[in-house]
Amino acid sequence: MNKDLGFNTVCTHFGELEDTQFKGAVSPIHISTSYAFEDVAVKRYPRYFNTPNQEALNKKIARLEHGEAALVFGSGMAAISTTLLSFLKSGDHIVLQRNLYGGTLNLVLKEFDRYAIEYSFVDIPTPKAFEEKIQENTKLIYIETPSNPLLKITDITAIAALAKQHQLISVIDNTFASPVNQNPILMGIDIVIHSATKYLGGHSDILAGAVIASQTHIDTIFQLGINFGGNLSDLTVWMLDRSIKTLGLRVKKQNENAKKIAKWLNKQDAISKVYYPGLKSHPDHDLAKKQMKGGFGGMLSFELDTTINVTAFLSSLTLIKSSMSLAGVESTILSPSKTSHALLSEEERSLRGISDNLLRLSVGIEEKKDLIKDIKQALKAAKQTS
């Protein structure tokens, strides 16, 4: 297929399977787990990431992130764990930013000791801080930007260069930005990971993950992948492929909505802080502008001031749903101190800037005026009278 297709054309058509039997307009689903033997080299099997629908989706996702190849997994965590353990063995070392998705942090803290894999965390993820943690046995650098929930930005180009300089493999979790807003491979990163449960799926009904990299790195991850078996079923592969057709449109709208809402929140007396990389007041705004070429994303956080009762505010929202996950077409909100970061002590939370009145909003594709109206009426309803 044509090499210079635009983003939305790739989303809609790239890798699609022809329906040779009925000439249908969309890719047929091939759900067979068993295929006729033709040749040892092309043995098709879902756990080998090579059924027709898996291959089509792998190609599309690789193309969206400008990588040579990709693999889709049964979850973001399957993609993350398989990738990390593909390149780390006992005695090796990895440097990670501390501000990570909770599941990733848990994987490192709960599992790596058992494999005698060493790790160091960087609190403030500057290139210098990463460099200071690099040891003789370091193999990987791992970052995530924008981060959850305060949308802090790590300098992708600088980290990629640092990794190259020390001959390390650089890995990024690009879930929050999505391929619409940020393409780390173009900035020198080796491996990009997505929880496809989030923006790639986008409708809060698919659990999936993806890894994009050079063919060589993908071959390595494939070898462990077939042993770990964290594959995605073909029905879900097809659903994800279908969902990605609207990825560009969805995220564009989410970018616009989030920016507008962030600006509006910033002007409200009852809101003491707004965290959104698209705001000039965000400490990493210039860096975000440099590396988030498509937009600043659909995630934002804000703090209610003491005149607002947090619980009452959440329960007064009618359109915006309280929900644990993110990135769906519907707007959702959560309290990090009560959910994603509940296991941390209050002191640890406050060290990370996560107060009890911080809320994280995943902005959907609804009309922004309706979302603002909802927030406005909830603020009014939750005003403390004392």
Ligand X SMILES: *Cc1c(COP(=O)(O)O)cnc(C)c1O
In the complex with ligand X, which residue's Cβ is closer, 262 or 327?
Answer: 327
- For 280-320, give the secondary structure using H, E and C: CCCCCHHHHHHHCCCCCCCEEEEEECCCECHHHHHHHCCCC
Catalytic residue among 92, 155, 173, 284: 173
In the complex with ligand X, which residue's Cβ is closer, 197 or 304?
Answer: 197
Q: Given its phi and psi angles, is residue 66 left (phi above 0), alpha (psi -120 to 50 degrees) or beta?
A: left
The distance of closest approach from Cβ of residue 369 to ligand X in the complex, given in angstroms and rounded to an integer, is 28
In the complex with ligand X, which residue's Cβ is closer, 75 or 257?
Answer: 75
Residue among 105, 112, 103, 115 at smallest CA distance from 78:
103
Residue 172: phi, psi to the nearest 5? Answer: -130, 140
| Sheet arrangement for strand 358-362 | 271-275, 299-304, 358-362, 332-334, 321-322
Residue among 146, 144, 203, 202 at smallest CA distance from 173:
144
The distance of closest approach from Cβ of residue 77 to ligand X in the complex, given in angstroms and rounded to an integer, is 4
**Residue 173 annotated to the active site:** yes
Catalytic residue among 35, 47, 321, 374: 47
The distance of closest approach from Cβ of residue 99 to ligand X in the complex, given in angstroms and rounded to an integer, is 11
**Residue 101 annotated to the active site:** yes
Alpha helices in the chain (DSSP H): 7-13, 52-64, 76-87, 102-111, 127-133, 156-165, 178-181, 215-228, 234-244, 247-266, 285-291, 310-316, 346-351, 368-381
The distance of closest approach from Cβ of residue 230 to ligand X in the complex, given in angstroms and rounded to an integer, is 10
The distance of closest approach from Cβ of residue 287 to ligand X in the complex, given in angstroms and rounded to an integer, is 18
**321: exposed, middle or buried (Cβ count in 10 Å: 0-12, 13-18, 19+):** middle
The distance of closest approach from Cβ of residue 171 to ligand X in the complex, given in angstroms and rounded to an integer, is 12
Catalytic residue among 60, 63, 152, 198: 198
In the complex with ligand X, which residue's Cβ is closer, 103 or 294?
Answer: 103
In the complex with ligand X, which residue's Cβ is closer, 268 or 325?
Answer: 325
d(CA 363, CA 272): 19
Binding residues for ligand X, per CB under 6 A? 75-77, 101, 103, 144, 173, 175-176, 195, 197-198, 207, 209
- Closest residue to ligand X, Cβ-based? 76
Task: Count Cα neighbours of 337 within 13 Å in the Cβ-side half-sphere.
Answer: 19
Catalytic residue among 44, 60, 92, 101: 101
In the complex with ligand X, which residue's Cβ is closer, 77 or 382?
Answer: 77
**Residue 198 annotated to the active site:** yes
Residues classed as catalytic: 47, 101, 173, 198
